[in-house]
Structures are given as structure tokens and as C-alpha cells.
Structure 1
Amino acid sequence: MSNTKVRYPAVEQFIDNNKDALVRSVQEIVRFPSVEAPAAGPGAPFGEAVRGALENALNLGKSFGFETTNLDGYAGCIDYGCGEEMLGVVAHVDVVPEGEGWIHPPYAAEIADGRIYGRGTMDDKGPAVCAIYALAAIKAAGIPMRRRVRIILGTNEETGWGCMDHYRKVAEIPTLTFSPDADYPVVNSEKGIYHATMRCNAKTNIRINGGTRANVVCGKVKAFVPVEITEVEKHVSGILAKGFGVELEALANGTEITVIGLDAHGSMPELGKNAMQAAFAMLAELPLAGEDKRVIDILHNRFGFDMHGESIGLDVSDASGRLSMNPGVIAWDDDGFEISIDFRYPISLDVNEVRSKLKAALAEFNPVCTHEKQQDGHYIPADSELVSKLLKVYADRTGEYKEPLSIGGGTYARAFPNAVAFGSEQPGISGPVHMPNEFIGIDELMFNAHMIADAIIALACEE
């Protein structure tokens, strides 16, 4: 990407001169394994590692002379400037579990081939650090402000969004906001999100367990079947041909099957390989009997390798995109199983339709919803000040004018009334988020810092 318009050389120079420091700051915060954990006392509602990551980011802001506030460990604020109105830049410091299959350790923040590898480098610690350096560059350049700027740092974006619930209760809502937690040029439309965990009754000999989160493609499951290993071996070729790994272990009363797929963000299941669905397909071919066969046949028929709810009557599309479905977690016991599923549904679809179709799909098991999370879709008009200025910012720096996007991912933009996502992923360049070997290129890191600075200037400094 090349600069076509550089209007504030002092800002450019500050960011470029601080390249090494920016890289080190990203490495430092990535080394906190900030996956949500049980509360660790006051100020740590999501665990010690999450608190550490938040404090690290706030201390970085403090080192540049900004006013910082820790909102009880739920969120943090880094403030600069004056003005009656406020621009918010909202990012998060928590991450999804690391999963398996890493070449570089997920929390070592190792540099190789011009990239920083680690969980959170792209989603969303790297962009959060870029925002802090971008604001520091504007401060150092002394550019007059017409709006205050607040960098808002959340701590459980990947799970329950309790961080934003708390922020909205105790802190000021920005006049307009952007979140560097999706794609360029601008995301002004986000599909609705529905996560459900369904408890299902099923007395079986089989067991299937695996997955980490509803919003992560299930990368690995272990299954037990009361079938001898020599018979199981006859039925592995189908899923091997689809790119899955299979490991078998003979047990006294059957076979343990490990199916290995590929983690990915649950809103983009096509980027992963769902090991749970592969296990359903493989077990459906085995010579099971009675309740074992009935249960597996139902699960395979309902979910197959579907990514859009095709088999349960939910393959719906509108201008915001096509519904996506990700069976993310399954846990089996003597009385049945729990399955957690992530749906990203078009804005025009009522979430109650998703609920009812899911319940109908599992009706044979008398399902009970034990947990659900729902967020409405989000849309900001393309001709709004926020979207139009950010599109111009992107075009000015890259020389490319592009239309705003709609995504299935859920960003903090939907937590605020006048908000969009702006960056930080670039198609064909960015590393795999929610997947093994997540990375951010150092050149991409610098690009993002410059782009965020441009956005802040356009929205908080210039008329």
C-alpha cells in the first residue's frame, strides 16, 4: 500500500521513528495469555491474565502522557484532547483459546519472516497498540482537536461482552466510534449473532467430545464407539479425502477416534474444517446399532458438512449476507449431550426463526436451551459522516476507493449507537484469526498505525 496523500508529515515521522517500539509493545501484550478465566478478585473479573493485558495497554497509554482509567477491570480508557463531543476507538485485549497446531508458540510473540506470530496479534491486540501509537503521534504533532478522543479497551469481547455492558453503565458514550477489529475499507453492516447451547437427552454407548468455543470452528474431537478398530479402519477414507486427520486407538470395549480439523473464526466456517461434523459423518458409516445409530443418523442428517443451515431450513440471505452456522462445541455424558452452535443471521431474519428451527432440528432429543447469547444486527448508512469520511481516509492512503462491507463477525461497533469497524485486516495479507499461527506482518502493523492516525485526524481534528 502506498501513500497517495500525506498531509501531516510529523504524524508520519513519529510512527515511522517508533517502529521498533511499536513492535516491542505488541510483543509484550501478546505474551499475556488473556483467555477469559474465572474472576481473580477485585479488578480481575475475567482472570489474572486478562487484567495483566489491560494494565499493560493502559500503562503504555500512560507512558505517552495520556490520562488513563481502569473501569474495575472490565474496560479501560485512554483519553486525549478537548471538545464537547467524543470520538471513540474501541478495541479488545482478550483472546480466544490458542487451540493446537502452532508452529510458533502462541504466546511467545516470535518474529519470523517479517511477521509477529501469536494469539491476538491481529485480533485485536496488535490493532489496539496501533491505536495508542497513532494517538501518541497526533499528540506529538500538536494537531488541534475539535473532538476528544478516547481509546476504549474491552476485556471479554470474545465471550460475553460484559465489558461493554459495564462500560455503558459507568462511562460516557462516544458521539461516534470506530473499531479496528474487522476489515478495510469500512464495515457498516454486521449480521445478527445467536449462540445457543442445547442440552439433549440420549442414552447411548457412543461419546463425542470436542471444541473450544461456539464461535470457533471445532478443530478437534475425540469419539468413542463400541466397534472394533479393524472395522473402524474401513471407514476413515471418506473424511481423510476431505482433508481431516484421523487417529485410532483400540480399547477393550471399542475404539477411540480422534478427528483433527482446523480452527477458524465461527463467522467464517468455510475457512476451517469442522471436526465435529466430520465425526458425525464418519460415525454414520459405522455398523452401529439401536440408539447409537439413531442418534448419529439424526446429527449427521441435521448438520452434515453444512455451513449455512441448509439441512435445518435456515439457508437465508439478504443484502447483509448469507446465514452461517458453526457447531462449535460438543460434550457427551451418560444422559446425553450438549451442543453449542453459533449462527450469524441476515439482518432481515428474526432471531426467533433461528431459535425455532434449531429446536425443531433437535426435537427428537427433547432439547433444553441451557445458555444463549443474542445480538441484533447493526447498520450505519453509507452516506453518514462516519462511513463517508472513513472511506475517504482509506482511498486517500491507498489510492483505492471501495464500497463498505457487510460481515458476519460481531465487533464492538454494535455496542455503540453510531459506530462502524475500520480495519485492520486486508484480504490476502492478514494472518488467520482464531486459527493456529495467527500473525500480523510488521509492514501491516505500520500501515494500520498510519491508517488509524488518519482516521482519528479526519474524525476528531478536521472539519
Structure 2
Amino acid sequence: MKPIRADFKALFEAHADEFLADLRQVLRVPSVRGPQTYAAPFGIGPKRALETVLAIADRMGFRTGQVGNCVGWAEYGPDATQAPTYFGVLGHLDVVDVEDDWHYPPYDLTQVDDLLYGRGVLDNKGPLLSTLFALYLIKTQKIAFEQRVRIIFGTDEESGSQDIPIYLAEHAAPYAGFTPDCKFPAVYGERGLLDVQLALSITDGSDQQITTIEGQFAKSYLPDHAQLILADGTVRTYHGKKAPSNAPEMADNVLPKLVADASQLTGQTGQFYQWVTAKIGTQSTGENLGINYQDEASGALQLAFYGVSIEAHLLRVHLTCRYPISVTEDQLLTGIKAAMLPGMTLTVKRRYPSQVTDPTLPFIQQLSAIYAADTGLDGSPVTTTGVTYARALPNIIAFGPSFPGQKGIAHKGDEWLQFSDWQMMMQIYYDSLLAIGAGK
């Protein structure tokens, strides 16, 4: 990657301490979704994070506002009477919960050499604030904008993006924009996502061989520990390596080990887990389920085996499939159903069809060219396995923050962001917003 441009470096360094202090203040808010309460539809934490960021934007002199106590914004450029449409940047202030896999305080900013640690430093508080800070650097130079630019702060991306319909009920969508919550370069296509539960009702009593299955199973990551406790008193404990569900190849998933042991049990229970071992097991591309699709734009399907459970004579496994943009959900469902055991049921828990934006649109080409010029890297638009706010707000794509080769950082302990990368992404966003707002 090319070095930070000298003129931007000087501009950034004049405000770096201020920016780090603001980032620390926002990271210290544990903005995990909580129970709805008065004036906080997604809990106190996300609401406090929104108030904290809006106070920072107010101090910087931006026009600010909020809707529904869950979405806020900061604007620069002509007002709505002069520029009815706007370019939008949408990111989120809510974060996933923390576990006991941290070596640094999760709700704080810790800097060790070139690395910044803290929950949300990458996903997505650090990158979202970098866009606000980039716009502030433009503002400090008193550069006039012809186009209105609005930075939008959401608070429910990690739990289904229920905040964005509230925003759209009162405000028009941007004519174009991006979310800094994925990867560089510009992302024109997001794979489809299908989250399914496969279950078998046990009628022969063989499920009584299992007392319980314990572990922290969540759709956002593959688990690194679990226990299988059998009725005869046997306790089997499994340890592995956690990874985000959109990077299953990086995990040492404990679930294939657990179901392999459970497949030694008798009756329908053993048969179910034998099927899971044979058809899913350690695979991450779905070949034994007959769904190992791939295409040139997306690559191979990703299969994430993220959960198991037993309750009321019902054995269940949970899978997420992130499938290429040329494939349909019906193709996956047909393949999985053809491979299922007699009596097994399939329930769709989440579904997001593929989303594709024309990569030749002028604003995508503009962002791609700026990224290439600033980094010296290939700026050709790409696709992603992620599910971003680009699906929730019309006319936007994902753009940053992770650089090529960076993967599997979010949603686990010691979430990190390189300080030098934060500076580089801020330069990219500075140049992008400057080009769009001022027409430079």
C-alpha cells in the first residue's frame, strides 16, 4: 500500500489526539442491544452511543438531528432547501456482546504499538467515526460543498437493522452512498444468506442418552468451546478456535467434534448425528449436501455450522449458507431437502437474497478510482460474503474498512484495527467525500 499522502498526514496529525479521545469515549459505551425502554427502542447502550456521537458532531459544528431515538446524522454542505438530495454514509454504533476471550478491556480503547483494541473499533465505531472525522477535516479548511453530505449513525445493524425503516419513514434515502462496514475496494455485490434449522423429532426415547449440550452458539460466529454431557455421567469437553460465520475456513469449529462423538449413540439419536457428521461435518462449502455452488464473481458457497441443541425430544442443528450471487435460495433449499433424513424438518430462520448494484455506476467508479489512487492497489469493484446496511438503505454499497488480506477480526475477542489503517481509511474517505461534495 502507498504511504499516507504528506498533505493529509499533516492535517490528520494535527487532530489525531482529539480523534483518539473521541473514539475512546464512544468505545467506552457498551452498546449491545438491550430491552426496549423509554426513549431507547433498542436499549440504553445503543441510545447512549448515539447521544455520545451526536454530541461530538455538535461540538464539531455540524448540522445534526435524530429520529426515533435510534438513528442520528451529521450534515455538511448546502441545506435541504438548496440541495434536496444528499450523498449518504451509513454505519452503526451497536456492537455484539463480549465473552471471556479478551486480553484487553473490551469497552475501552487500548493502543499497543500500531494496534488499537476494543469492541467496535473495527465493527463499526472506528470506521464510522473515521468518516465523520474526514468530513470534519474538510470542514476545518472551510471547503465549500455543492452537494449535501450526510453521515448517518444507526444503532441496530447487528440485530436486524430495524432502525432503518424508522429513519426512512421520515427521511428520503440518499441518491447514493456507502457503508464503511465491510471491506475495500467498493463492494457492488453481496451474497445471498440462508440461515436454516434442521431438526428431527425423536420417538424411540434415544435422546435420553444425552443430558444436555452446552455452549455459546450464536449465528455471528463459529464456536470455540462446547460440552456434551451424557446420561451415564460422561462429560466431553471440546475446545477450538472461534471465527466469524462469514469466514468458516478460519475456525477450528468444535461442533463437528461434538456430533462425531454423539454419532456413536444408539437409535434415532445416533442416526441423526451420523447424518450430520456425514453431510455437514467439517465441510465449509456444502458438497455433501449437494449445494457446493460457485461462480466467478463470488467464489464458492460458504457453509457455517454454528449451533446444536436438544429440547423436548427434538434434535436440532443450525447452519448459515452464504451463496454466490448467481444462485437462488430455491436451489439451496432443493439440494438440502433432497439430502435430508426421512422425518427431518427444515425451518428458515433468516433469509437475505443476493444484492447486486451495477458496478459501472459513476459513484462506484469514482470511489474505486480514489481507492486505487490512494493505496496503489487494484480498485476493481468486488463482491462480499457479508450482510451490511447496504441491504437496508436504498442506493448504497459497502466501501471499507478492511483492506485486502484482513479477515476474521470482528465478533470475537481482542477486536483490533491498525492505527495506520485507520489513518489510511480516513484519507480515502476524506478524498471520496471531498470529490463528491465539492466536485473536485
TM-score when normalising by structure 1: 0.86
CA change 1:315–1:33 in 2 (3 A) is: same
In structure 2, the residue matched to 1:276 is: 255
Shift of 1:91: 0.7
CA change 1:368–1:187 in 2 (3 A) is: closer
Deviations along 1:391-434, whole A, 9 cap, x unmatched? 11112212333322111111212223332211111134677122
In structure 1, the residue matched to 2:21 is: 24
Shift of 1:315: 0.6
Q: Distance in 2 between matches of 1:359 and 1:431?
A: 30
8 A contact 2:164–2:393 mirrored in 1: no
Counterparts of 1:34-113 in structure 2, within 5 Å, are: 34-39=31-36, 41-82=37-78, 83-113=83-113
Q: Is 1:446 equivalent to 2:440 in the alignment?
A: no
Shift of 1:3: 5.0
- List gaps (5 residues or longer) in structure 2: none
In structure 1, the residue matched to 2:173 is: 173
Q: Distance in 2 between matches of 1:171 and 1:200?
A: 46
Q: Is 1:313 equivalent to 2:290 in the alignment?
A: yes
Query: SS where residue 234 of structure 2 aligns?
Result: strand
User: How many residues of Structure 1 are paired with residues of Structure 2 in the alignment?
Assistant: 430
In structure 2, the residue matched to 1:434 is: 411
Query: SS where residue 99 of structure 2 aligns?
Result: coil
In structure 1, the residue matched to 2:194 is: 194
TM-score when normalising by structure 2: 0.90
Shift of 1:442: 1.5
In structure 2, the residue matched to 1:300 is: 277
In structure 2, the residue matched to 1:231 is: none
Superposed CA RMSD: 2.3
Q: Distance in 2 between matches of 1:361 and 1:75?
A: 44
Query: SS where residue 366 of structure 2 aligns?
Result: helix
In structure 2, the residue matched to 1:236 is: none
Query: SS where residue 195 of structure 1 aligns?
Result: strand
Q: Distance in 2 between matches of 1:131 and 1:291?
A: 55
Shift of 1:127: 0.3
Shift of 1:124: 0.7
Amino acid of the residue matched to residue 415 of structure 1? A
Q: Distance in 1 between matches of 2:353 and 2:266?
A: 43
Shift of 1:218: 2.3
8 A contact 1:27–1:116 mirrored in 2: no
Q: Distance in 1 between matches of 2:200 and 2:48?
A: 38
Deviations along 1:316-349, whole A, 9 cap, x unmatched? 0122232111122333223223433222111221
The farther-off stretch of 124-133 and 346-355 is 346-355
- List gaps (5 residues or longer) in structure 1: 227-252
Q: Is 1:208 equivalent to 2:213 in the alignment?
A: yes
CA change 1:396–1:439 in 2 (3 A) is: same
In structure 1, the residue matched to 2:144 is: 144
Shift of 1:96: 2.0
Counterparts of 1:115-264 in structure 2, within 5 Å, are: 115-198=115-198, 200-202=200-202, 203=205, 204=207, 205-206=209-210, 207-226=212-231, 253-264=232-243
Query: SS where residue 226 of structure 2 aligns?
Result: strand
Deviations along 1:115-139, whole A, 9 cap, x unmatched? 2212211111100111111111111
Q: Distance in 1 between matches of 2:183 and 2:97?
A: 22
Shift of 1:269: 0.9
The farther-off stretch of 119-128 and 353-362 is 353-362
Q: Distance in 1 between matches of 2:246 and 2:420?
A: 27
Q: Distance in 1 between matches of 2:267 and 2:4?
A: 68
**Runs of 4+ with >6 A deviation:** none
Shift of 1:162: 0.8
